[in-house]
Structure 1
Amino acid sequence: MNLNVEYKGIEKKFYELSQAIVSEAGYYLYDMEYIKGSKTLRVYIMNKETNTAVIEDCVAVDRAFSEPMESADWIPDDIVLEVSSPGMFRKIKTREHFDLSKGQRILVELNKKFGDLFQGENFDKKTANTKKVLCVLNDVGDDYIEVNLDSDFDLKLNLNDINKVALEPEV
């Protein structure tokens, strides 16, 4: 897992445009993705005070995109704009996402079985054979995350051993 997301080409232009518009509207740009095949720009926003976005927030940001989308000549005419909250079970992909998620429950999907990463530890068979681990995020370093497993066991997971991470709030 690489915490440094770098946009290039048209994605970089969309990121910069999205960052400016969302920030000016008073929100935080949580994530952005441009799907070239369908010419879809997905912008995930949130209010940092509530850690979410309601429909009115999304509508306000959508409207703020209107003028730039019509006037910028580099934007495809048939682009589809989707403005959304990142959701309760949001992906955690960047260092800032991890910083925002400290102390919260996360689901970590590993690229190896848990027991293979921590040989010599006495995990039950189910835990040892799984690639998905539910835990609490304690901290993030340059090449690891520190998590708490079962309220009494802290461990570090190397970012290279992680496929993806998402919030996993109790509902």
Structure 2
Amino acid sequence: MDETALTKELIELLKPIVLELNYQFYYLEFTHEDDEDYLRIYIDNEKGIGLDDCALVSKKISETLDKVDPIDVGYYLEVSSPGVYRQLFTEEHLTKSIDAKVSLELNELYNGKKKYTGKLLSFTLENIHIDYKNKEVSIPRNVIDRIILEGNV
């Protein structure tokens, strides 16, 4: 099973558990770092997320994963809040962050820079448009490594 299919299967399996516990399902990633595999689930709610919230969701998710066992390698389960300075992963995250201050971390130089911070103006499938120093800058998505919400402008 490829990673995309596994990720979709995990979302279908685990998102209802998070929602049933009255949390928002922010994002899920299954990633390989430093010779280890990690299943990371980001949860949120209006009141914020504390350690007890993460422990509760982790326990319920672990119970389901132990029964269904969809992952055929050893991994670490991490449940956490996306944080105040959260990474924007999806189109929905971007849409909700229009007019907010964001930082774009690039995987290569673009116009001589590897990081841009400014107000998110809009986005397309190909580009992210920000107000950078009172000038609209369009940055190709294929050079963007991460988009981080910095707060409101």
Q: Which residue of 1 aligns with 2:147?
A: 165
1:67, CA displacement in angstroms? 2.9
Once residues 37 and 138 of structure 2 are traced to their aligned partners in structure 1, the CA distance between those partners, rounded to angstroms, is 39
CA RMSD, 1 decimal: 2.8
Hey, which bits of structure 1, 4+ residues long, moved more than 6 A?
none
1:95, CA displacement in angstroms? 0.9
Q: Which is richer in strand?
A: 2
1:76, CA displacement in angstroms? 5.3
The 5-angstrom pairing of residues 12-161 of structure 1 reads 12-35=8-31, 38-47=36-45, 49=46, 52-75=48-71, 79-110=75-106, 111-114=108-111, 129-150=112-133, 152-161=134-143
TM-score, with length taken from structure 2: 0.77
Q: What secondary structure is seen at the aligned counterpart in 1 of 2:64?
A: helix
Q: CA deviation digits over 1:55-74, x for unaligned, max 9?
A: 23222312321431232143
For structure 1, the residue ranges without an aligned partner over 5 or more in a row are 1-5, 115-128
Percent identity (aligned)? 30
Give the length in aligned residue pairs.
148
TM-score, with length taken from structure 1: 0.70
Amino acid at match of 1:41: L
For structure 2, the residue ranges without an aligned partner over 5 or more in a row are none
Residue 160 to residue 69, structure 1, CA distance change in 2 (3 Å)? closer
Q: CA deviation digits over 1:74-102, x for unaligned, max 9?
A: 34596532110112232222211211222
Relative contact order, higher structure (CA 8 A, sep 6+): 1
Amino acid at match of 2:55: V
Once residues 89 and 139 of structure 2 are traced to their aligned partners in structure 1, the CA distance between those partners, rounded to angstroms, is 15
